[in-house]
Amino acid sequence: MSVPKQNGSERAALRRTNEGKVCDAVIRLLEDRTQLKRRDLRAHADAGNGKNVEARFRLGSQEYAIEHTRINSFDNQVRVELLFEEFRRPIITKLAGALPGRGYWKLCLPSNIGRRIKRRGFAAAQRALIDWLPIAAARLLSERASGKRPAWSGNPPGLDFKVTLLHETNATGIDEHDGLLLIMSEGPIMIDERRRKELADALGCKCPKLQSCKDAGAISVLALETDDWTTCHLFLAPELWNAFATRQDMPDEVYLVDTTAGEFWPVVPLTRGDRVLSGHVPVEVLPDQLVDITATLSG
């Protein structure tokens, strides 16, 4: 059975923007860093150049302006995501609350799993992972006592593809979870020329508005949203830096918000001033606790 084709409205639903919530997530990080609460929040605010930014607000006496843009999809992304979701969902459902330990588990699979395994082979591969995961998780927790990091990478029994299993605790911004399993993609697919051009086009639209706010004394913030399985911050940061190298209107701060995880969204600072912020641990926020600021304040 083939993956059904989607019409325009179905595709739009899958790609729906999280603009207001993504901005709220980034503003919360700014509040935490400055130890100041937002005030004078204005959605769809005049940027000063005849266009609007997503929001302008103040932290203390300092004004900020924030813009959101989404990293566009690569060719055939919808099919890749549908197959990935079809493969991972039964595993998450079967093992809900069944893995040991406080905190949560991350299982990283190849992003193109639907091409690595024929769909008629999904059930057998899913069963192999369901059988293996509780055993592997218990072994990793036992090794923690000896000082080893609870992580494993390799081919599980009966499978011809590599996976990575990690155990995380005390994640910033969320409560502890008992045995929560997250399944996400392992590593990025190389960004293609079309998406690289779209990133440049997006910056060409967003950066002048932010620069106009910056010229008026605001700190300019760009919030990038990735809602595909293949864009990770370690790969996006150098691409973004290359794109900014040809511009004179780089925002003061750039963040990446990954809205694919579902249970929580990792928020990663990418740049601040003229520095690339590499190696930063993502701050994990619960999307259900975020406010769609561009909807609630737009009237």
Residue range 217-248, pLDDT digits in tens: 999 999 998 866 555 555 666 777 788 888 88
Q: Which residues contact 196 (CB under 8 A, 6 or more apart)?
A: 239, 243
| Domain range list for the chain | 8-74+191-296, 77-186
pLDDT tens-digit profile of 59-117? 999 999 999 998 765 556 667 777 888 999 999 999 988 898 877 888 988 877 877 88
Q: Give the model's pLDDT for residue 19.
A: 92
CATH architecture of 8-74+191-296: 3-Layer(aba) Sandwich (3.40)
% pLDDT > 90, the chain? 39
Taking Cα atoms as reference points, which of 118, 120, 122, 112 lies closest to residue 89? 122
Q: Which residues pair with 271 in a beta bridge?
A: 254, 276
Q: Among positive and negative, which fits the CA dihedral 19, 24, 27, 29?
A: negative
Instruction: Note if the pTM is more than 0.75.
Output: no
Banded pLDDT at 145 (limits 50, 70, 90): low
Three-class DSSP category at 147: coil
Within the chain, how many helices (H) and strands (E) appear? Answer: 8, 12
DSSP-assigned beta bridge partners for residue 272: 253, 275
Confidence of residue 291 (pLDDT cuts 50, 70, 90): very high
Instruction: Tell me which residue of 226, 229, 220 sits closest to 239, measured CA to CA.
Output: 226
